[in-house]
């Protein structure tokens, strides 16, 4: 497939006609780790105690982002943002995550990265953890029947091929679904109460082995790359991992390898499989024009036993405060590496603030497609950054963060305003702890340039900055978008619970 991209050239007081330039769009592989912290990678954190040679090599061969963020501090919402280019809180899910039997979150009429690329000549594949739900087949009595077809699957959201499981590895049911069909009807219900490898009791397919799920997805992803390498059209592989999220189950060969705890071993296992995937791309002869993106869906979780890791000198979220679920930086600042030899200069580092919602606009830019007003409402193209262009000011006007309980924060430049008195998540002070105190200010203002650890709340010293950011956040919410374009509607606006400051102003 060849895409014609029109590039305008200009000079001072003079312009020339656009020239037609033939561009071959790249293959795209997007790997999403689950609950991996910014500080787990050696490339981000020289003091990391977990060896990650393959991911460090990926960074050496590509571009590493130091200020990359997920749209949410938890699983489901971040995945929604990645695939739609729209902030998760604009959907009907205003807080928390979906369960294994929840209603599907992405409407089949909404454009996704996959549907957009598929419409422009890409073969698209999902292999991994979905966590956006689908509709299980049900019998006449309304009971789930795993022998019946599954509907509203990734296939209905733009993927030509889809293989994976419905939610996290600790949320039942534990079955694989391939192109709308359960691969093996579950015959029993399993449960684990292991300190690290626990999962909830639920129906489990005979071909579903918790310990082998991550290796299985990598094997299938590698096979897909080999099969599609020379198929005559570019491909998009979305490979969202269920690890190192609980259950923390490193394979036997990795157990004890990190010298830290099973979480450290699990991260090493992921790194090793990433090395195998990178080698497969190279061996297939498509390395030069394949864009590999590696990131995580939120920060490291306390389920990793962070206190054990820090006792041995390893800080999974680096210098940043908080962890998964929080509005603090540790909840949503994540590793983000992009390798694309044809375009990205090796060993590049970008300090621009980016968000995982930016994949949609980036891919649209790659294929020369102009997003409609109701597509990718919160997505900015990263392509100029990949080209190493020097931008005036910030790449994004501002970025909105969201915690597990639905608390908001907005970041513009060095300033971050959190519209909550605490973490909005699981670290101190939790929402419950905040409710027991009256002394905490209702908002938190941090200067991340001077105070990256978010130790000093400056809301009292800079009330004008609080007002400016609060007004911009309100505008983004009310406009249904944060990018230029016609205003759009948010879904389920009647169920907002965390917009107290907008209610105050009414």
Helix axes 359-366, 75-84, angle to 10 degrees: 20
Question: Residue 493 pLDDT more than 90?
Answer: no
> Residue 16 — very low, low, confident or very high, per pLDDT cuts 50/70/90?
very low
Distance of alpha carbon 246 from alpha carbon 442, whole angstroms: 33
pLDDT for 7 equals 34
pLDDT for 88 equals 97
pTM of the full predicted structure?
A: 0.94
Mean pLDDT of 135-145: 96
pLDDT for 22 equals 57
Mean pLDDT of 264-279: 98
* Between residues 51 and 389, the one the model is more confident about: 51
> Residue 430 — very low, low, confident or very high, per pLDDT cuts 50/70/90?
very high
Share of the chain above pLDDT 90, in %: 89
437-to-304, 321, 322, 430, 481 alpha-carbon distances in Å: 29, 21, 20, 11, 35
* Between residues 397 and 493, the one the model is more confident about: 397
Mean pLDDT of 280-295: 98
Report the b/e string of 280-295 with b at 16+ CB within 10 A: bbeebebbeebbbbbb
Mean pLDDT of 400-425: 97
Report the b/e string of 377-406 with b at 16+ CB within 10 A: bbbbbbbebbeeeeeeeebbebbbbbbbbb
C-beta pairs of 451-456 under 8 Å, 24+ apart in sequence = 452/319, 452/320, 452/329, 453/319, 453/320, 453/321, 454/320, 454/321, 454/322, 454/328, 454/329, 454/416, 455/321
pLDDT for 23 equals 67
What are the tens digits of pLDDT across the range 81-92? Answer: 999 999 999 999
Mean pLDDT of 487-492: 96
What are the tens digits of pLDDT across the range 298-355? Answer: 999 999 999 999 999 999 999 999 999 999 999 999 999 999 999 999 999 999 999 9
What are the tens digits of pLDDT across the range 257-270? Answer: 999 999 999 999 99
What are the tens digits of pLDDT across the range 203-226? Answer: 999 999 999 999 999 999 999 999
What is the number of alpha carbons within 13 Å of residue 120 lying toward its C-beta? 24
Domains of the chain: 22-386 (3.40.720.10), 399-505 (3.30.1120.10)
pLDDT for 448 equals 98
Compute the CA torsion angle 481, 485, 487, 492 (nearest 10 deg).
-40
Question: Residue 386 pLDDT more than 70?
Answer: yes
pLDDT for 505 equals 55
Work out the mean pLDDT of the chain and round it to a whole number. 94
Mean pLDDT of 252-261: 97
Question: Residue 420 pLDDT more than 90?
Answer: yes
What are the tens digits of pLDDT across the range 222-248? Answer: 999 999 999 999 999 999 999 999 999
Q: Of 409, 268, 267, 258, which is closest to residue 331 (Cα–Cα)?
A: 409
């Amino acid at each position: 497939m060849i895409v014609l991209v029109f590039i305008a050239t200009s000079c001072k007081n003079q312009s020339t006609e656009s020239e037609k330039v033939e561009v071959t769009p790249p293959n795209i592989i997007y790997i999403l780790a689950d609950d991996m912290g910014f500080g787990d990678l050696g490339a981000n954190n020289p003091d990391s105690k977990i060896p990650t040679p393959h991911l460090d090599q990926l960074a050496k061969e590509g571009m590493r982002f130091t200020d990359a963020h997920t749209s949410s501090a938890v699983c489901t919402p971040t995945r929604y943002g990645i695939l739609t280019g729209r902030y998760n809180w604009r959907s009907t899910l205003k807080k928390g995550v979906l369960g294994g039997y929840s209603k599907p979150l992405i409407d089949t009429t909404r454009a996704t990265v996959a549907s957009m690329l598929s419409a422009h000549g890409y073969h698209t594949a999902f292999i991994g953890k979905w966590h956006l739900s689908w509709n299980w087949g049900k019998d006449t009595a309304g009971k789930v029947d795993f022998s019946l077809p599954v509907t509203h699957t990734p296939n209905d959201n733009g993927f030509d091929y889809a293989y994976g499981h419905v939610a996290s590895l600790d949320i039942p049911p534990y079955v694989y679904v391939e192109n709308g069909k359960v691969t093996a009807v579950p015959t029993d219900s399993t449960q684990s109460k292991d300190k690290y490898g626990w999962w909830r009791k639920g129906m489990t397919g005979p071909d579903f082995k918790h310990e082998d799920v991550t290796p299985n997805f990598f094997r299938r992803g590698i096979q897909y790359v080999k099969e599609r390498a020379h198929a005559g059209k570019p491909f998009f592989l979305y490979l969202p991992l269920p690890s190192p999220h609980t259950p923390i189950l490193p394979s036997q060969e990795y157990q004890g390898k990190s010298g830290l705890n099973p979480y450290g071993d699990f991260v090493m296992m992921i790194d090793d499989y990433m090395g195998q995937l990178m080698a497969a791309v190279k061996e297939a002869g498509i390395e030069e024009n394949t864009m590999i993106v590696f990131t995580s869906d939120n920060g490291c979780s306390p389920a990793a036993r962070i206190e054990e890791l820090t006792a041995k000198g390893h800080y999974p979220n680096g210098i940043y405060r908080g962890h998964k679920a929080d509005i603090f930086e540790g909840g949503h600042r994540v590793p983000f590496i992009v390798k694309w030899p044809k375009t990205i200069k090796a060993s590049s580092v970008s300090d621009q603030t980016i968000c995982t919602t930016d994949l949609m606009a980036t891919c649209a830019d790659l294929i020369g497609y102009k997003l409609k007003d109701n597509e990718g409402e919160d997505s900015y193209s990263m392509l100029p950054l990949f080209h190493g262009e020097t931008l005036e000011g910030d790449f994004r006007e501002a970025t909105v963060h969201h915690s597990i309980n639905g608390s908001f924060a907005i970041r513009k430049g060095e300033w971050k305003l959190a519209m909550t008195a605490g973490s909005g998540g699981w670290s101190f002070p939790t929402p419950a702890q905040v409710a027991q105190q009256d002394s905490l200010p209702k908002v938190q203002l941090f200067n991340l340039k001077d105070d990256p650890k978010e130790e000093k709340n400056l809301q009292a010293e800079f009330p004008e900055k609080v007002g400016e950011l609060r007004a911009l956040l309100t505008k983004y919410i009310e406009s249904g978008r944060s990018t230029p374009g016609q205003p759009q509607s948010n879904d389920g606006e009647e169920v907002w619970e965390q917009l107290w400051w907008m209610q105050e102003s009414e």
